[in-house]
Each structure stands twice: as C-alpha cells, then as structure tokens.
Amino acid sequence: MLKGLVGKSVVIGGSRKIVEISTLIEKQGGTPLSRPLQGTVFLAENEVEPSLLSLVHEGTDWLIFTTGIGIQTLLDLSGKLGVEEPFLRRIQQAQVASRGYKTSNVLKRLGIKPKAVDEDGTTQGLIRSLENLDFSEKRVMVQLHGESVPELIKFLENKGASVDTIFPYRHIAPNSEPVATLCMELLNKQVDAVCFTTKIQVRSLFDFARKNGCLTDILHSFKEGTIAVAIGKVTAETLREEGVERYIMPRNERMGAMIVELSNYYKKNEDEKGW
C-alpha cells in the first residue's frame, strides 16, 4: 500500500504524545519534527479569586461558559472560599450560554439549562446562537481558558453589553526557540505540513510571527506550500481567524485520524498528478 507521507517533513505542534504521533507519521513514511508550540496552562487561583468573589457578591445578567474544566475549577475554588452555594445560586439566577459539549455536560449535571448553545463547538457557533438575543445594558461574565477570545468580547460589546472575563487558568507562552525554528523552516520551505492539536498552538505561532514582522510571509507559506492540519473544529476556526484558508481536518477529532487524513491528502494529490 502506498504511504502518503514518504519524503514529507511533518511538524508536531503539541507537547503531549510526541512519541505516539511520531510513530504514526513514520508508519506513513514521513519524517516527524517536534516543534512545541503549546506553552503552559496553569491554575490561577490567586488571580481568579477577586473575579469569583465579585460575581458572587454582585451577580450578573449573563454567564457565558466556554470550557467544562473551567466551570468545575470555579466550583472547586468557590468551595475552598466557602461560597459554593451562593456561586451556584448566581449561575441559576443568570441567563447562561455554553460552548462545547463538555461544558454543556457539566451544566447538565448541575441542573442548569443554557439559554444559548453553540451548534459545532466553536466560538463562531456560539456567537451565532447569541445573535438574536438582547444584550443592551446587560452585564455579561465570560469564563475563558488560558487566553482571551476577542471576537466574542467584541460581539457582546457591539450588542451593548458590559463585559467582564474570568480566567480560572492562564497561559504562559512556549519557549521562543522552537517557534522561531518553525518560522524559519516555513519561510525556507523546509516543512511540508504542520499539525496543530489546540488553538493555543496556532496563536503561539502567529503571535510570534506578528511580533517578528514575518506574518505575511508565514501566511504565504501556508497558502502556497506547507499544509496546515487541524485536529478539530476549534483549532480550524483559529486557523481561519489568523488568515489561513488552506487546511485539512479529519472528521474524527483524534490524533491518529489527523495523520491518516494528511496521508490521504498527499495520496490524492499524487493520484491526480498521475504519480
């Protein structure tokens, strides 16, 4: 059977399961390159405490939850602070919106039915579910994970909302060396594909490119040569937000499926060229 990644250099942007993904790439004939773009996400107990207590004491009109682990972490922290019951009451009193099936599952266990739910796990899907709702002069608290979601915040503010954010977790950018190496490889056409397994990896690469004046060239690399690979819809959405229109994504959001999809992409291109 023809192996689709023969002669291809494939970058792994994640920091987990490197050996497993490398083995999958090698089985398809490719050369794996580890370029960690993930950075570190850490629990920010001290930073989030004032926002959590403000929510408990003052309430809000809307609560928008974007991750299941974020809700659970806020519940755990409210328990440590002795305000779990009033925190739960604030959730019950507010209008609630939810992004992602894991988030919805946590809310369901709490007996809370969201007013708005995304249809596809993405921020744009969540925004579409909120488009016909009135946010004029409403207080909205948005729970985020590691990084901001400027398009959601801008949407709410444009609808007349007063928006606050709460970050149970914060993100520390990755070591700049592997990011710089990948940028040079992209500019020099030395890699055939880059596999992104989280949105943070996408942001890390493009934030670095912006700061170092090579954003246009990096985008051109993805347009004309290197193929971007997204593990799922949220990662693909982030690629589009950064200006990458040419990417592939497996139907099944799994690492193995991602590598098979990439292999099949090259097989199809070679078949069409008559190779």
CATH of the domain at 167: 3.40.50.10090
Tokens of 46: 């001290």
Query: Does one domain contain both 75 and 183?
Result: no
- Whether 123 contacts 203, CB under 8 Å: no
Query: Number of structural domains, the chain?
Result: 2
Above 80 in pLDDT, residue 273?
no
**Whole-number pLDDT of residue 64:** 97
Query: Does one domain contain both 219 and 145?
Result: no
Query: Does one domain contain both 143 and 205?
Result: no
Query: Does one domain contain both 80 and 164?
Result: yes
* Averaged pLDDT for residues 25-32: 96
Please tell me the distance from the alpha carbon of residue 242 to that of residue 59, in angstroms, as a whole number: 35
If DSSP codes are grouped into helix, strand and coil, which group holds residue 139? Answer: strand
Residue range 51-73, pLDDT digits in tens: 999 999 999 999 999 999 899 99
**Residues 145, 150, 155, 156, Cα dihedral to 10°:** 50
Range of the domain at 128: 42-172
* Averaged pLDDT for residues 20-40: 93
